């Protein structure tokens, strides 16, 4: 009987130790809380010479999968999805996001080094129409513009104008919805 009780006590002690029980030592640290903060925080890139703020959010597996399978999910999809995504975007405290023009997107990718924290080496939609119901995309590694049909799937990066209106110059770009947007800073 003593052997069974001793064996039971040893087994109970081992179980408590393995389970993380605090057996009499008040100096042992508690279990750490799991942080709820996203490990990939959203960012923006400010392009001061063009007075533009660029969305710089992490791309997730669902978006990469949508791109490969020719579906539309968040920051990957068809041209109509891209326009709608930017128009509805609430990010970094702003709601006036839009799809960039081909010149804006080419210009930001011509800068030395990778300016975006989160990037893809695939085509990105622009708001600039070409011909026959097609739109330009920009391929970031070479910053060149290519024509694509609206139903193709490409990545999406939204942009918004920033800056003081008095310093702005007349750099007009036609957006997908037909409205003109003025952005840009004078070089002083």
pLDDT digits (tens, 9 = 90+) for 110-148: 887 788 887 888 889 999 999 888 999 998 889 899 999
pLDDT digits (tens, 9 = 90+) for 12-48: 677 655 555 455 555 544 433 433 444 566 789 999 9
Residue 31 forms part of a structural domain: no
Q: What is the span of the domain harbouring residue 144?
A: 43-185
The token pair at 175 is 């957006």
The residue among 99, 102, 73 whose CA lies nearest residue 175 is 99
Average pLDDT, the chain: 76
Q: Is residue 86 part of a domain?
A: yes
- Report the pLDDT value the prediction gives residue 73, as an integer from 0 to 100: 76
User: Is 158 part of a structural domain of the chain?
Assistant: yes
Are 75 and 87 contacting, i.e. CB atoms less than 8 angstroms apart?
Answer: no
121: CATH: 3.10.100
57 membership: H or E segment, kind and range? none
| CB of 86 closer than 8 Å to CB of 98 | yes
Q: Which of 49-53, 65-69, 79-83 has the lowest mean pLDDT?
A: 65-69
| 26 compared with 100, residue with greater pLDDT | 100
Dist. CA 182–CA 172, nearest whole Å: 5
Q: Decide if 134 is inside a domain.
A: yes
**Domain membership flag for residue 159:** yes
Q: Say yes or no to pLDDT of 174 above 90.
A: no
Domain membership flag for residue 49: yes
Greater confidence (86 vs 17) lies with 86
User: Who has greater pLDDT, 168 or 74?
Assistant: 74
- Provide CB contacts within 8 A for 71, sequence distance 6+: 65, 77, 153
* pLDDT over threshold 80, residue 171: no
Closest by CA to 46, choosing from 185, 147, 187, 186, is 185
What per-residue confidence (pLDDT) applies to 19?
A: 56
Q: Domain tally for the chain?
A: 1
Q: Determine, yes or no, domain membership for 16.
A: no
CA-CA distance, 102 to 156, in Å (whole number)?
Answer: 12
Who has greater pLDDT, 53 or 169?
53
Does 1 score more than 80 pLDDT?
no
In a domain, 6, yes or no: no
């Amino acid at each position: 009987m003593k052997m069974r009780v001793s064996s039971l006590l040893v087994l109970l002690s081992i179980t408590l130790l393995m389970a993380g029980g605090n057996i009499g030592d008040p100096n042992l640290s508690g279990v750490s809380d799991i942080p709820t903060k996203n490990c990939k925080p959203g960012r923006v890139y400010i392009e001061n010479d063009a007075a533009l703020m660029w969305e710089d959010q992490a791309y997730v597996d669902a978006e990469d999968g949508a791109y490969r399978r020719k579906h539309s999910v968040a920051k990957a999809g068809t041209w109509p999805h891209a326009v709608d995504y930017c128009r509805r975007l609430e990010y970094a405290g702003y709601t006036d996001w839009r799809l960039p023009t081909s010149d804006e997107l080419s210009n930001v990718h011509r800068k030395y080094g990778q300016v975006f924290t989160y990037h893809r080496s695939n085509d990105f939609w622009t708001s600039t129409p070409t011909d026959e119901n097609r739109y330009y995309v920009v391929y970031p590694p070479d910053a060149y513009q290519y024509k694509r049909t609206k139903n193709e799937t490409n990545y999406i990066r939204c942009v918004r104008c920033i800056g003081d209106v008095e310093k702005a110059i007349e750099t007009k770009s036609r957006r997908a919805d037909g409205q003109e947007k003025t952005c840009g800073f004078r070089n002083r």
